[in-house]
Structure 1
Amino acid sequence: MAESVPVRCPACSRSHTFVPTVYPCACGAPVEPPLLRGAAAEPVTHRTWTDEWVRVRCAACGRQDHWPRPELGCPCGSVLRIPVREAGGTGALTAPAGPATPPPARAAAAQRPTFRPVTIRTARDVVTGAALYLRWLGFQGVVQAAEQPASGIDLRGPDVVAQVDPTTSPASLRSVECLWLNGLNASAVGVFFALAGYAPDARARADSLGVPLFVMDLTGAPQPVNDPADELVATGG
């Protein structure tokens, strides 16, 4: 269970005991935002995307992901934002030295054979190629949706969800954000494949959220286009 911290509402001076929500990392370990003890909570007066999320490092595998910033509702009507020590910024957490033995995914990645792509002739071929690539990365049980789902998720496995954009237009910011939220809800890695690349704001948001982006050419060979994608190729699924 997560450790509780005392919180005082600056609006009405009520005292509360706050217990942060614990989330599952993609590696399966529990992750909780590292709260700043003794720091004053701040009332939420307006909201922005940046304020809603906090980057937290998993102590088990070192992975950094964005999680909802912890908040507390006071009976006086104030919503309080709980201060957090965010990874990757001032007061960032120190990266763990890592486990004594390599994670199974990393060991498997080092032994992967050469990927054999499927030539792209139809939109369905793009989805098929992405599914083969995810399995090659080490994700198990990856299956294709029977038809285009409302969620936009074309491929799904126990540890991964993927969206595949076979159109001739760059993938949008909204598509990247929707994929990330689907991955968050499923406690899975969200991976995006696009035939025509990504809009600049979509690329920037994917970088900030840690979403791996791949571009597929007509040979069916996905190419990583951001750091999270390079990391996924190096470590495997």
Structure 2
Amino acid sequence: MTESMPVRCPVCRRDHFYAAPVYPCACGAPLAPPLLRAARPEPITHRTWTDDWVTVRCPACERQDQWPQPELGCPCGTVLRIPVRPVSAPAGPAHGGSRDGRVPSHIPLPRTAVTSRPTFRPVTIRTARDAVTAAALYLKWLGFRDVVQPEARPLSGIDLRGLGVVAQVDPTTRPATLRAVECLWLNGLSSSAVSVLFSLAGYADDARARADQLGIPLFVMDLTGCPQPVNASADELIATGA
């Protein structure tokens, strides 16, 4: 059963109930990172590749590998790092542990390794158009090609299109809505494309829940123009790229 715990955002004091994502171990057993209830979640202000992964041991086969660091995106725009109980002892070499520098076999690797993917260079957001530009640059950084933005926003609400991707950018001061998520999903479905949503003000609770159900990557952006993942689908998109 998935482990869950109450989480309070230290910025807006909103209460959440967080359930750790479940992934299949190489042995086939479902496995979720064990949450550390005694530790307080901290807002993510700076990302590194090391901080985005945690070591987890499978209780079924004792295999020890690297798994995505659990995170929670609050509608206020804050992304929280959820603490995980540390592994008490390293696994032996027979289990393929990550201490020897090998990569996890059960999680898709980035098609372009982080060391070879160029550093993302954001643009400062001063206008709504800047927000769309920042999102376009980020999609290109992820590997999507021919990403374009229309001169005028279409009635569909789609701000960006590329090969295999459609994206919407919400530059308002209100959290993105459930309707925005579902409309974006329908546009992606009709185009056989990945749907990606960017927001400056975070997401309403029902919008976040629906995006998780539909597998839509959600990102929040601050005025520096650097998107941050809000849900597991966004984490996966960053890991695998286009």
TM-score (norm 1): 0.55
Match of 2:110? 106
- Is 1:133 aligned with 2:138? yes
* CA distance in 2: counterparts of 1:188 and 1:208, whole angstroms: 17
1:148 Cα deviation (Å)?
Answer: 1.1
User: How does 1:21-32 map onto structure 2 within 5 Å?
Assistant: none
1:107 Cα deviation (Å)?
Answer: 2.2
Supply the AA of the counterpart residue of 1:176: V
Q: Which has the higher contact order (CA 8 A, sep 6+)?
A: 2
1:145 Cα deviation (Å)?
Answer: 1.4
| SS of 1:181 mapped into structure 2 | helix
- Is 1:149 aligned with 2:169? no
2:210 paired residue among 174, 189, 205:
205
CA contact under 8 A between 2:146 and 2:163: conserved in structure 1? yes
Return 5+ residue gaps in structure 1 as ranges: 1-101
Match of 2:231? 226
Match of 1:42? none
| SS of 2:112 mapped into structure 1 | helix
* CA distance in 1: counterparts of 2:113 and 2:150, whole angstroms: 26
Q: If you compute each CA radius of gyration, which structure gives the higher value, 1 or 2? A: 1
1:109 Cα deviation (Å)?
Answer: 4.9
Match of 1:214? 219
| SS of 1:107 mapped into structure 2 | coil
1:132 Cα deviation (Å)?
Answer: 0.1
CA contact under 8 A between 1:166 and 1:195: conserved in structure 2? yes
Q: Deviations over 1:152-191 (max 9, x none)?
A: 0000012100000000000000000000110010000000
| SS of 2:198 mapped into structure 1 | strand
- Is 1:175 aligned with 2:177? no
| SS of 1:192 mapped into structure 2 | strand
* CA distance in 2: counterparts of 1:226 and 1:107, whole angstroms: 20
TM-score (norm 2): 0.54
1:208 Cα deviation (Å)?
Answer: 0.4
1:106 Cα deviation (Å)?
Answer: 3.3
Supply the AA of the counterpart residue of 1:112: R
Supply the AA of the counterpart residue of 1:108: T
CA contact under 8 A between 2:110 and 2:238: conserved in structure 1? no
Structure 1 residue runs of 4 or more that deviate by more than 4 Å after TM superposition: none
CA contact under 8 A between 1:109 and 1:236: conserved in structure 2? no
Q: Deviations over 1:22-71 (max 9, x none)?
A: xxxxxxxxxxxxxxxxxxxxxxxxxxxxxxxxxxxxxxxxxxxxxxxxxx
- Is 1:124 aligned with 2:133? no
Instruction: Give the alignment's Cα RMSD to 1 decimal.
Output: 1.8
Between Structure 1 and Structure 2, how many residues are aligned? 136
Match of 1:166? 171
* CA distance in 1: counterparts of 2:169 and 2:210, whole angstroms: 17
* CA distance in 2: counterparts of 1:186 and 1:157, whole angstroms: 10
1:142 Cα deviation (Å)?
Answer: 0.2
| SS of 2:110 mapped into structure 1 | helix
CA contact under 8 A between 1:109 and 1:235: conserved in structure 2? no
